[in-house]
Structure formats: C-alpha cells, structure tokens
Amino acid sequence: MATSLPTLVLVGHGMVGQRFLEAAAERGLTETHRVVVLCEEPRPAYDRVHLTSYFSGTTPEELSLTEPEFIEKHGIELHVGDPAVVVDREARVVHARSGLTVAYDALVLATGSYPFVPPVPNKDAAGCFVYRTIEDLYAIEEYARNNATVGAVVGGGLLGLEAAGALQGLGLTTHIVEFAPRLMPVQVDEGGGAALLKTISDMGLSVHTGVGTQEIVTSDGAETGAVRGMKLSDGSELETDLVVFSAGVRPRDQLARDMGLSVGERGGVTVDEQCRTSDPDIFAIGECALASDGRVYGLVAPGYEMALTAAAAIAEDDAAERLTFTGADLSTKLKLLGVDVASFGDAHGATADCLDVVYSDSRSGTYKKLVIGSGGELLGGILVGDAEAYGTLRAFTGAVPPIAPEQLVLPAGAGAPVQLGPDALPADAVICSCHNVTKGEICEHTTLPEVKKCTKAGTGCGSCVKLIGQLLPKSGDDGLCGCFRHTRQELYEIVRVKRITTFAQLLDEHGREGARGGEGCEICKPTVGSIIASLAPTIGADGYVLAGEQAALQDTNDHFLANLQKNGSYSVVPRIPGGEITPEKLIVIGEVARDFGLYTKITGGQRIDLFGARVEQLPMIWARLVGAGFESGHAYGKSLRTVKSCVGQTWCRYGVQDSVRMAIDLELRYRGLRSPHKLKSAVSGCARECAEAQSKDFGVIATANGWNLYVGGNGGMTPRHADLLAQDLSDAELVRLIDRFLMFYIRTADRLERTSVWLDRIDGGLDHVRDVVVHDSLGICDDLEALMRAHVDRYRDEWSETINDPERLARFVSFVNAPDTPDPTVRFVPERDQIKPELPLIPLEGLAVR
C-alpha cells in the first residue's frame, strides 16, 4: 500500500498489543501514521485473563477484545497468522513469515511470553500440553475427550490452578504438582497456602507440593509414545494420561536477540522509562520487556501501562513527559476453582518493622492477613476464601486506615463494629489498576456501562467491577439500576403497553443513554426477565422461561428449573396441589428417589423434596415424574410455590368448607405465575387454622358463610401476620379478588419485594389495596382480571416443555465440552439410610496478631 505517511509496525497482537492500538488511536497516531500489525496467532487479540471460561461455555468470539469496526475505522492493517520473523534494523524493515515486508519508522514489540516447560525426559510426548492460547485449549479438550481419564498439572501458580480446574471440568481425575512448599507461592504466604490447599483438596483435586517432575513416563518409554505417568523427585510416581505444563512463563525476546537489541541476563528486552529499547526507534511492551526497575511483569495491568507509555512517546504529545513506566502494582484478585484469592502491596511483609494481623478460619477456608507498618499504615495483604474487601483495602495501601486493622479482617458478626466502606476512600485512590482509574474519575459518571466506555475501568481483569458499582453516584431518581431510569413498576407498564418481548429491545429503547446497546446488569436482567415472563401471554412473548434471550436473564435456579443446593447438586420438587396425592403417584416418587439415589424429605408446604440430583439427571427424573402425571412445583422460581391445606370438612369434624378442593383449585390456577418474589398460600377449613393461612402471601380461612381472604403474611425472616382483605366470600368472589390482588402486586411491587413488605410500603397500605382490588377505585380491575385469564389460559409445564425438546435438553450437562461426564465434585455420604452432601467440618481458628 503506497503511502506518504510514516509507518508504525506492531509485532504481536495480544491484550497489551490491542491496548497499544487503542492508545495510539486516542493520541491520533492512526491518523498520522500507517499502522501495520503482525500477529502470530490465527485470531486477533482476545482476553487471555479469562481464558479458562472457555471450558464453562464462553466462546472464542466472546473472549475477543478486537472489534472489526475499530480496526476498519482507524485503517489498521491487521495480519493474523503472520508473525514477524526477521527485523533488519539497518534497513528498518520487518519481514513476516508470509514473505510480507514492511518498512518502519517506529517499531513496537509486544511479543509476550511463552510457557516454560521443564527440561524433563519425554516432555514432548503425546498427551503433553501447555496452557497459553485458545488453540492449546482446543488440543487439551480433544485429547481429554478421546484419550485420558487422569490429568496432571505441573505448576501450582495462577495459571496452574486454572488449568487444573479446566481438567477437572473435563471430567478428569486431576493432580497438581508444585515444586514450592505451597500453592501460589508468589501471591500467598504459608497460612494462605494452607487455606487454599485445604479448600482445593476438598474439591477432589490431589495436590503434591514440595516435589518436582523428574520424568514423563510414556507407553513406549520414549518421546514417541503417549503419556502414562510422571516420576516425581520424592521417588513416587503418578499415573496420568495427560500432562499440562504450567510452570511459569519466559519473555519472548528471540526476535530482539536476533536483531541485536539489549536483553537482560535472565531474559526480557531491556527498555527505559519510556519503553524504548537500546534502539531509540524500537519499543517493547508487556511480558517481553525488562522494565527499568529490572523486572519482567507478567500481569496485564503493567502491560497496559507500558502500552500507554509507548504510545505517548511515539506521539511525542504533552503526555509523553508525564507518562513513564518505572514499575507497577502487582496486586491480583482472582477466582481460582471457585475460590477467591487476592494479594496486594507488600503481601509478604518485606518492609522492616512491620507486623501482621491475621484471621484464619479453616472450617470455611478463609484466611486474611494484613501487613501494617510501624506508623499504622496498611502496607499490603493476602485474602483467601473471602476477598470481598480487596478493592477497598488495596486502595488504602500506603495510607493509615480510618479504623483499626483487626476490624478490616474480621467477618461480619465476629465482633467488628465498623466496616470500612468505599465512601472512606480518597478521590485519588486507584480503583482499577488495569487502567489506572481513580475513584474521582469513576464518580464523574453515573452508570457502569458509561464508566467502562469512558475510562475503561472494569474492562481488564474485572476485579474492580463490584467496587465501581458501590462508588457510582446516585442518579437522583428512583430508577431500577444504573441501566434504567425507570422503576420496576414503570418498566412493567412499558413492557405491557408497548408489547416489548426482549430485554435487548427494552434496554435499547428505554435504557439510560450510557447503557443502551450494552448487556445490562445483575439487577435489571432477572427483573426484566420476570416481567416479560409474567406478561408473556398478553404481549406475545414465548412463555417458556428458557426460550431464546430469556435464558440468559435467569438466575441459576430458573436456568436449570431446579434448586441448586450447597454441594452443587439439585433438588426436584414436583407439584402436589393441596398436598393430595394418590398411592400410585406416591409410589412413583418413591421409585424415582430409589432409582436415582436421592435424599427424600416431606416439606413444610405439603410436598416431597428430592435432593441430590446431578444436573444431567434432571431431565430423566422429570420424564419419570411427568409420565406419572406430575409437573414442576416451581420451587426454584419467583412464582407460586404451594397452596397448603388441612383436610377440611371432608374428614375433619371441625371443618366448615372443602379446603382441599379450594387449595387444589387455587394452586392449579396460579401455578407458574412469575412475580417479584416467591408466593406462598394456604387454605384452612375452619378458624382453628391448621394450614397456617395467616402467615402466607395470600391465605384463605373457611367460615360458615364462605371464605375470608387474608393478604400480606410472611412467616420468614421477618414474620408478619396477614391482614383481612375481605370476608364471607363465595368461591367465585374469592377467586376474583385473589386474581386482582396478585396482578396488582405484580404490577406495582419492587424487585424481590414480598407481599408483606409491599403492603407496608405502598401508599395507603391495606386500605388502598382494598379500594383498588375490592372496590375498583382505579378502574383497572377488568384489566387485572384479563391479565390473569391470559396467564391461566396459556400456562405450560416447564418440565414437559423441556423433556420434549432435544435442543432445550442440551443445556442440562455438567460440562458443555464433555456432556456425558458427571461432575466429580458432587459427592455424598450415607446418613440415616439416605444420603447427605460430603462437607467436612474443621475446627475454627481464631484471630492472631503477631
């Protein structure tokens, strides 16, 4: 391409390379330069930090950091799968593998790093892998599926634990071999390592610390064979079919060496404070660079800082004098195998005259250590198992916290009278270390999407997102969240009147400006999902809760139509209206529980709960139950759970009405009705109240003249006695008023607001509700009744819908990449002739200050 513009060549297109391109575009370099990118991998830059999420269903496209529009808009020439192989510094020309040659005026090396593989015999045998790229993951996945049942990871650091989690997720029995005496030796100390070891071992992974790998054992004793085991330095041998090397990385500096640039003794291209190499026209950034402080940084945040520094230096703008790279914060926060692990500042107490404040609870796998300086300043810390306070603590590093150190590590309820909140942080506290964004910069915006767009905070490792949400200023309105200015009630009316059937449409048309075109948040997504589900019959939406986009809006329970339990298994609750069940159906439940080995319990709501089902077993269990005439009891949903009843006048000498028949009628009428919170009901056959109707969201008590209707009861954490709404009602009058009451509640309640809270909050309280639903003071009762008729007419059982659709059945697997493999972490032990989750109890260790 002929051009008179100077040429800027970027060698490497990983996360740091992409950040350099963005910084170059921000500084106008894409306007003043021809920009050419030579990328070795067959795809543009992607999120390597979250690489392991591929095994939980994230696609390579979703991991991508490169928008085609960005490349096209800025005229960037991107060559994927075509790395630089030779650089002629004298001629100032880069030669690519394809034969492409590009003359450069400025050259930026962002070649990253390569995995270190220990020089052990047979390290390249079939079944040996590294864990670095998407292509590596493809290869591991394919080999594990066809050739392996046991896997071993060499290395117990950050990437090693992620690799171990991936192997376990693929269904392999997994070992971790770490040469150091503890896991994650760089980030955590002995106490943190012990807590991490205990938790990870409890997950079913075998950990071997303090030993090295001496040899890979193969099927033919040579590198031409397949992996069959590992010999360790303590003389032991592991049987394994697959080995992943994750023993650290080394700078990819061979290209720099070949062109004669200065390289550190232990590797890394030597750069100055502006990221210039020994050749002033060549820069190096990221993991290939040896910074002026003598370190090679293997984290994304320092790489991003280098990218900004190099772009400013090449642009020679005002920022160039201010932007220098002399070192970086090594703080990290990750979730490894489901365990929160974080370290920040001087985590190991290398500073003179410092002391440690330690809290350890082995029972819960929690370890917290703060390093305090002689002047009371917070120098650093380590958090394992509970990293909730990481963002706030890291921001206070170097300063004296406003409360005592003990109060910063003690959990809530353990004697800590004051908790340090984000409001206590100074405006210059760095919240996002990946992009060096301060609290003050974040507070200039009102929504998370706006913050991400304008500052890039929250788009790196993601550890700061929660703290950003806490810092965002209040919008001054009663909007549902940072994505919508409207309340839940207003969104309900918008969806109903405009017949909006998707979350994306609602966000694009009615979201805050900064949120439009985004993905929403954890508040609005399930809320809107519930609204669309409750209005589905009248707006033309698919009433199936997992149809299309609706699936992505659901919480875990709704997503799998079952209740997730503490050990990762699920419980199944078939609907038993009124608690009435035939012997034949009771036998079927017993047979299902026996055949699938489930724990069985009669609930307080007159139903039978079956515990311990693995996710892939759910459709088979449902099929048996549906075949016997059962349907979903919606125990997982924000919907009607059950209508409890006594035996009523049919059997009881005190009963004055047929409470069983009425309970069955009501449960079948309102089954599956999505609402702001769960709904419970009961029908008592007389004033003796054996069904406890006055502790329910709507309860019915029989009288000699009909039925009394009570509303707003709650027997939960904050008990509330229900209020009498109307009395001596006929069957038809009772049903009509309940229809109106429920639809008025669904229409006007806030998200996750029970009827008891709603009744106390709503203006006018019970009197207003009575005026609306009994006397039709607002003239909306016909509309409310029509909405309920539509729900009743369009009801479909979700279990039946799922088991009859092969595409819907495909989601019910423990591992998307190994659908026939059960989750090995879901384990049980016997108790009282049934099963219970295998959850060890370890004594509590208290607070220690040393």
- SS3 labels along 102-125: EECCEEEECCCEEECCCCCCCCCC
Is residue 590 a contact partner of residue 557, using CB atoms and an 8 Å limit?
Answer: no
In a domain, 284, yes or no: yes
Tokens of 213: 């790998």
- Confidence (pLDDT) at 69: 87
Beta pairing partners, 683: 645, 700
| Co-location of 597 and 697 in the same domain | yes
State whether 550 and 690 are in the same domain. Answer: no
Share of the chain above pLDDT 90, in %: 48
Max mean pLDDT among 132-141, 297-306, 516-525, 815-824 falls in 132-141
Q: Say if residue 514's pLDDT is above 80.
A: no
Of 205, 221, 247, which residue is a domain's last? 247
| Residue 841 reports pLDDT greater than 70 | no
pLDDT in tens, 670-680: 999 999 999 99
CATH code for position 260: 3.50.50.60
Number of neighbouring beta carbons within 10 Å of residue 775? 9
Over residues 169-177, the mean pLDDT reads 91
CATH number at residue 466: 1.10.10.1100
Using alpha carbons, list the distances in angstroms from residue 241 to 122, 153, 175: 13, 11, 11
Helices (H), 101-189: 134-147, 158-169
- 262 and 214, same domain (yes or no): no
DSSP state of 89: T
CA angle (181 as vertex; 179, 186 as ends), nearest 5: 85
The helices-and-strands tally (H runs, E runs) of the chain is 29, 39
Burial of 90 (0-12, 13-18, 19+ CB in 10 A): exposed
Q: Tell me what the mean pLDDT of segment 670-691 comes to.
A: 93
* Confidence grade of residue 625 (pLDDT, cut at 50, 70, 90): very high
Q: Are residues 439 and 527 in the same domain?
A: no
Residue 557, pLDDT > 90, answer no
Residues 287 and 339 in one domain: no
Q: What is the pLDDT of residue 421?
A: 64
Question: Does residue 779 sit in the same domain as residue 656?
Answer: yes
Residue 254, number of CB atoms within 10 A of its CB? 13
Alpha carbons 259 and 251: distance in angstroms, whole number:
16
Digit-coded pLDDT (tens) for 573-585? 899 888 888 989 9
Does residue 814 lie in a domain region? no
Among 523, 538, 525, 526, CA closest to 493: 538
At 196, the pLDDT band (50, 70, 90 cuts) reads confident
Q: Render pLDDT for 456-503 as a digit per residue (tens, 0 to 9).
A: 887 766 667 777 877 776 555 668 887 888 888 889 999 998 999 989
Residue 539: left (phi > 0), alpha (psi -120 to 50), or beta?
alpha
Is 307 within a domain? Answer: yes
Distance CA 285, CA 416 (A): 44
Nearest to 395 by CA among 354, 440, 340: 440
Query: Same structural domain for residues 275 and 357?
Result: no
For residue 80, with 0-12 CB atoms within 10 Å meaning exposed, 13-18 middle and 19 or more buried, which class applies?
A: middle
Q: Last residue of a domain, which of 402, 420, 438?
A: 420
Please tell me the predicted confidence (pLDDT) of residue 336. 67
> Do the beta carbons of residue 699 and residue 721 sit within 8 Å?
no
Look over the chain and give the mean of its residue pLDDT values, rounded to a whole number: 86
> Which uninterrupted H or E stretch holds 536?
helix 524-539
Q: Are residues 469 and 343 in the same domain?
A: no
- Segment 752-768, tens digit of pLDDT: 899 999 998 888 889 99
On the question of pLDDT at 207 being above 50, the answer is yes
pLDDT of residue 322: 61
pLDDT digits (tens, 9 = 90+) for 70-98: 999 999 999 999 999 999 999 999 999 99
What DSSP character marks residue 577?
G
Tell whether 270 and 184 lie within a shared domain.
Answer: no
Overall domain count for the chain = 6
Q: Would 364 be classed as within a structural domain? A: yes
C-alpha distances out from residue 551 to 424, 556, 559, Å: 39, 10, 6
Predicted confidence (pLDDT) per residue in 639-655, tens digit: 999 999 998 888 888 88
Output the CA torsion 28→33→34→40 (10° steps): -70
Distance CA 160, CA 180 (A): 13
Residue 672 falls in which region: left (phi positive, over 0), alpha (psi -120 to 50) or beta: left
Mean pLDDT value across residues 149-177: 90
Q: Which residue has the higher pLDDT, 389 or 131?
A: 131
Given this model, what pLDDT does residue 230 score?
94
Residues 264 and 204 in one domain: no
Residue 462 lies in a domain: yes
Tell me, rounded to whole angstroms, the distance of Cα 5 from its chain centroid: 45
Mean pLDDT, residues 152-156: 94
Q: Is residue 195 in some structural domain?
A: yes
What's the CATH code of the domain at 648?
3.30.413.10
Angle at 230 between CA 229 and CA 236, to 5 degrees: 110
For residue 46, is pLDDT > 50? Answer: yes
478 domain residue, yes or no: no
The pLDDT assigned to 320 comes to 55
CA–CA separation, 355 and 360 (whole Å): 16
Mean pLDDT of 255-259: 95
The CA-atom distances, in angstroms, between 237 and each of 125, 164, 208, 625, 735 are: 17, 18, 11, 48, 71
Query: Above 90 in pLDDT, residue 536?
Result: no
391 or 657, which is more confident: 657
* 651, part of any domain: yes
Q: Which of 327-336, 433-442, 717-726 comes out lowest in average pLDDT?
A: 327-336
| Three-state SS at 525 | helix
Same domain, 650 and 774: yes
Do both 37 and 152 map to the same domain?
no
Contact 8/105 with Cβ under 8 angstroms?
yes
Does residue 411 carry a pLDDT above 70? no
Q: What is the pLDDT of residue 281?
A: 95
Residue 445 lies in domain: 426-473
For residues 170 and 821, the answer to whether their CB atoms sit within 8 Å is yes
Alpha carbon distance 367, 370 (integer Å): 10
Report whether pLDDT(143) > 50: yes
CA distances from 821 to 141, 168, 169, 460, 835 (A): 13, 10, 9, 33, 21
**461, 333 Cβ separation under 8 angstroms:** yes
Question: ∠ CA 73-75-76 to the nearest 5 degrees?
Answer: 115
Identify the domain boundary among 297, 322, 347. Answer: 322
